[in-house]
Structure 1
Amino acid sequence: MTVSAVLAVVVFAGAYVLIASEKVNRTAVALGGAALMVLIGVVRGGDVFFSEETGVDWNVIFLLLGMMVIVGVLRQTGVFEFVAIWAAQRARARPFRMMALLIVITAVASALLDNVTTVLLVAPVTLLLCDRLALAPVPFLLAEAMASNIGGTATLIGDPPNIIIASRAGLTFNDFLVNLAPIVVVLLGVFLALAWLLWGRRMVYDPERAASVMALTPRETIADARLLRRMLVVLGLVLLGFLTHNLTHLEPSLVALLGAGASVLLSRLPSDEYLEDVEWETLLFFAGLFVMVGALVKAGVISELASSLTSAIGDNYLPAALGILGGSAVLSGIVDNIPYVATMAPLVHDLVGPGAGLPPAQQSLWWALALGADLGGNATAIGASANVVITGIARRNDHPISFWTFTRYGLVVTAVTIAVCIPYVWIRYFVVT
């Protein structure tokens, strides 16, 4: 390992320890770590700002920014209050029933949209719902972040790592749906049971508050019906843009920014109102994290780890698939799963070739990579983009979720879901062929 690689590992490890300790603001740590990577010469301006492999992922940054502006305009219509009351009434104001309903909604929406967009839309509803019923919102937010990562695994557009895999492997939307949606349905059922064990059995039902919520009329919460109709059209077009990416070739970030611009023009709101929901600290944290991970990529640290894994594989595809599944789960919990997959995808391509048309045993390596990276993102608060967004929203609303609080539950969920995937990969690609 070169000197620059050693220095990059030291900086990244130090930053990770500080983030985990929560003694220093995580955004300051991420930006400070990024600055150190530049100062020690691991990356330069071109690497940071213009490189797809080592720089800031502007698609993620501007996707988040655009959707945050759309959410900020939507908030002014009262639609989040409407959905919160509707959900509470459908669940008869029973806490775990509401959690289960929100988990299913989040998982399904994450498969159709993407997990980051989904948590941006669902989190405000959750906070309002918990406020109405005097419930602690942290368990709900944790469950939604993890459900978004599970649901997003099912489709090509559901989780950013899947888009990277599809591009490198030549896999289609239907390929993802056929190969990953069945196991995601099973994982969702498993996660609902886990949610009951982790949080649901300790929830307290308040009959008086429940009765007051059941007496509400959801329609009365709509403050601006005309703006809501316009925003639903804009949101529908944004979702259509996400779904038709293969036809239009418009990046999701551009679609989100176009939607944000249309929202601002149609609403004519003052800037302080629609910018209120923009998580500037979260965006800066992402930028710093991308630079630090990019430095590891530039120094060859991640590729060296991945190469060690693939060189040990050879033609033994079952151990290879299970090794990639488990290894991806571990590494995606430590390093954000987007840059991890960006590094691993070329190596899997070199090992077995494009995914389309491969025999099941060889194609299993691509699906193991997707499952491991997407589900492994649940392990820690920085393992997936949706986790970072949820913890940022929680902090801004005075319900901070510590790194270790997230990790304590995330490790359990990741371990169980990956364990369920092991027999699926074995049976699907090596027994039933």
Structure 2
Amino acid sequence: MNDWHSWAAIVVFVGAYALIISEKIHRVAVALGGAGLMLAIGATDDVSAFYSEDSGIDWNVIFLLMGMMMIVGVLKKTGMFEYLAIWSVKKAKAKPFRVMAMLVVITAAASALLDNVTTVLLVAPVTLLVCERLALPAAPFLIAEVFASNIGGTATLVGDPPNIIIASRAGLTFNDFLVHLAPLAALLVVVLVALCRVMFRKFFVYDEDRAAEIMDLEEREAIKDPRLLVQGLIVLALVVAGFVLHPVLHYEPSIVALLGAGLLVAVSTAETSEVLSEVEWPTLAFFAGLFIMIGGLIDTGVIDEVSRALADAIGTNELGGSLTLLGASAVLSGVVDNIPYVATMAPITSDLVHSMGGGSDHVMWWALALGADLGGNATAIGASANVVVLGIAERNRQPITFWQFTKYGLIVTVVTVAISLSYVWLRYFALA
């Protein structure tokens, strides 16, 4: 890392990160400005930024988001989210904590089958309506759902993009993830519900009058366009099936989402311009800028240097190495997007596993997955779902600040990572 480009890239990234944290300049402007500086100083170039699978914009993420935002935009017109909001509040007897617990469990379960970004795109509109009906601040509920989506996504091969990278590199199956990570993810969801009860307790204000009003509502009356709802649900079911059958069909989630969005717009009466107006364009621009900035760190060798330093620290001690890899991955994934981090660490982890004689029960790979997936909860930009929810909240005039998210995210990350470290030690070493 002797090249001045490496140090310049670090300065640009750290400066941009500091500005995002300070919130003195809008995060989209910072991300795009940082991307421009990375290109200007030669840390990356147009070929790497726009065409490289390793260090460029992850178009699969961008188009997955765009496709699902379009589908959600059509579903909004049907009244489906109002229906679900009234139904969920009535099931929880309009008690705020019960509502949050229900939404957290639903989000975590859905994130295990869908990717976590798709899940929050579907759950967030319901949450906003629930909070509006109960006169509650939406931020705590949305933040809790982000945590749930990242934890739930840990459970399966398709739940979080880093898991797909790890599965491909290590030759792991969908069932392998279910056996090794799903039990821990289920435990962590229970822990999250308990943490939410403590962290957000001051927001659980019960309004008897509003509760009575909602309990008297008939949720079926919220459906505005039954025909469009049927069309939307059929397309959504096909899209979900496409996601779940990824190991068989080999269609990227982005392709499935775009095909679904195109089909829904084609067969429905929804105006294309109205559907496109529902796309969170600032969020997509933020992701593009962030990918380019991280790409600058990859192209100049900064991330590779950090990864190799981690590998040197691990050595051939499987127990110490697994715990170190899990903890360090959690820290790094809170700062940089976990997709390029895992893509960089995968070959290094493979070499480590080989040097240890194959490792026991793929423990190094599970450590990498847990650290990368759970570490995303640490900060407001630690994972894709976090950024998407911040964009939705801002668009609905319920902005969530960087520190508002991060002060809770750090607590959740420390607790869940500590439990995961204990789980790895007990399952693969102490009780092996």
CA shift, 1:432, in A, is 2.6
- 1:430 is aligned to 429
- 2:244 is aligned to 243
- 1:126 is aligned to 127
Q: Give yes or no for the alignment of 1:28 onto 2:38.
A: no
- 2:416 is aligned to 417
Equivalent positions of 1:84-103 (< 5 A) are: 84-103=85-104
Which shows bigger deviation, 142-151 or 275-284? 275-284
Corresponding letter in the other structure for 2:238: L
8 A Cα contact 1:169 1:353, kept in partner: no
8 A Cα contact 1:22 1:403, kept in partner: yes
Corresponding letter in the other structure for 2:394: R
How many angstroms apart in 1 are the aligned matches of 2:234 and 2:354?
42
How many angstroms apart in 2 are the aligned matches of 1:304 and 1:248?
36
For each residue in 1:236-291, what CA deviation from the matched residue of structure 2 results, as whole angstroms up to 9, or x when unmatched?
Answer: 11011011111111110000000000110122211232123210000000000000
For each residue in 1:76-102, what CA deviation from the matched residue of structure 2 results, as whole angstroms up to 9, or x when unmatched?
Answer: 111000000000000000000000000
For each residue in 1:95-145, what CA deviation from the matched residue of structure 2 results, as whole angstroms up to 9, or x when unmatched?
Answer: 000000000000000001110000000000000111111110000000001
- 2:403 is aligned to 404
- 2:350 is aligned to 349
How many angstroms apart in 2 are the aligned matches of 1:358 and 1:184?
25
Corresponding letter in the other structure for 1:101: M
Q: Give yes or no for the alignment of 1:390 onto 2:386.
A: no
8 A Cα contact 1:169 1:354, kept in partner: no
For each residue in 1:379-412, what CA deviation from the matched residue of structure 2 results, as whole angstroms up to 9, or x when unmatched?
Answer: 0011000000000000000011111111100000
How many angstroms apart in 2 are the aligned matches of 1:272 and 1:249?
31
Equivalent positions of 1:260-339 (< 5 A) are: 260-339=261-340
8 A Cα contact 1:168 1:354, kept in partner: no
CA shift, 1:27, in A, is 0.5
- 1:360 is aligned to 360
How many angstroms apart in 1 are the aligned matches of 2:164 and 2:332?
19
Secondary structure at the aligned position of 2:400 is classed as: coil
- 2:215 is aligned to 214
How many angstroms apart in 1 are the aligned matches of 2:347 and 2:403?
33
8 A Cα contact 1:19 1:26, kept in partner: yes
8 A Cα contact 2:318 2:359, kept in partner: no
How many angstroms apart in 2 are the aligned matches of 1:353 and 1:142?
39
How many angstroms apart in 2 are the aligned matches of 1:408 and 1:256?
33
Corresponding letter in the other structure for 2:110: A
How many angstroms apart in 2 are the aligned matches of 1:256 and 1:366?
29
CA separation of 1:59/1:353 partners in 2, compared to 1, >3 Å: closer, same or farther? farther
8 A Cα contact 1:31 1:285, kept in partner: yes
Secondary structure at the aligned position of 1:334 is classed as: coil
* Structure 1 unaligned residues grouped into runs of 5+: none
Give the aligned length.
Answer: 431
Secondary structure at the aligned position of 2:52 is classed as: coil
What RMSD, in angstroms, separates the aligned Cα atoms of the two structures?
1.3
Equivalent positions of 1:119-268 (< 5 A) are: 119-268=120-269
Corresponding letter in the other structure for 1:232: L
How many angstroms apart in 2 are the aligned matches of 1:231 and 1:58?
25
* Structure 2 unaligned residues grouped into runs of 5+: none
Corresponding letter in the other structure for 2:391: G
How many angstroms apart in 1 are the aligned matches of 2:351 and 2:22?
39
8 A Cα contact 2:314 2:325, kept in partner: no
Secondary structure at the aligned position of 1:108 is classed as: helix
Equivalent positions of 1:64-103 (< 5 A) are: 64-103=65-104
Which shows bigger deviation, 394-403 or 199-208? 199-208
How many angstroms apart in 2 are the aligned matches of 1:324 and 1:186?
21
Structure 1 stretches of 4+ moved >4 Å? none
How many angstroms apart in 2 are the aligned matches of 1:34 and 1:350?
32
- 2:372 is aligned to 373
How many angstroms apart in 2 are the aligned matches of 1:139 and 1:64?
23
CA shift, 1:201, in A, is 4.9
How many angstroms apart in 1 are the aligned matches of 2:358 and 2:241?
31
How many angstroms apart in 1 are the aligned matches of 2:105 and 2:131?
17
Equivalent positions of 1:30-69 (< 5 A) are: 30-69=31-70
Corresponding letter in the other structure for 1:179: H
CA shift, 1:354, in A, is 11
Secondary structure at the aligned position of 1:41 is classed as: coil
How many angstroms apart in 2 are the aligned matches of 1:64 and 1:50?
19
CA shift, 1:358, in A, is 4.3
CA shift, 1:230, in A, is 1.2
How many angstroms apart in 1 are the aligned matches of 2:150 and 2:201?
20
Secondary structure at the aligned position of 2:181 is classed as: helix
8 A Cα contact 2:6 2:302, kept in partner: yes
Corresponding letter in the other structure for 2:177: F
8 A Cα contact 2:28 2:286, kept in partner: yes
CA shift, 1:339, in A, is 1.2
Corresponding letter in the other structure for 2:255: L
Secondary structure at the aligned position of 1:400 is classed as: coil
Corresponding letter in the other structure for 1:424: Y
8 A Cα contact 1:27 1:282, kept in partner: yes
Corresponding letter in the other structure for 1:292: M
How many angstroms apart in 2 are the aligned matches of 1:165 and 1:7?
31
Corresponding letter in the other structure for 1:417: T
8 A Cα contact 1:37 1:292, kept in partner: yes
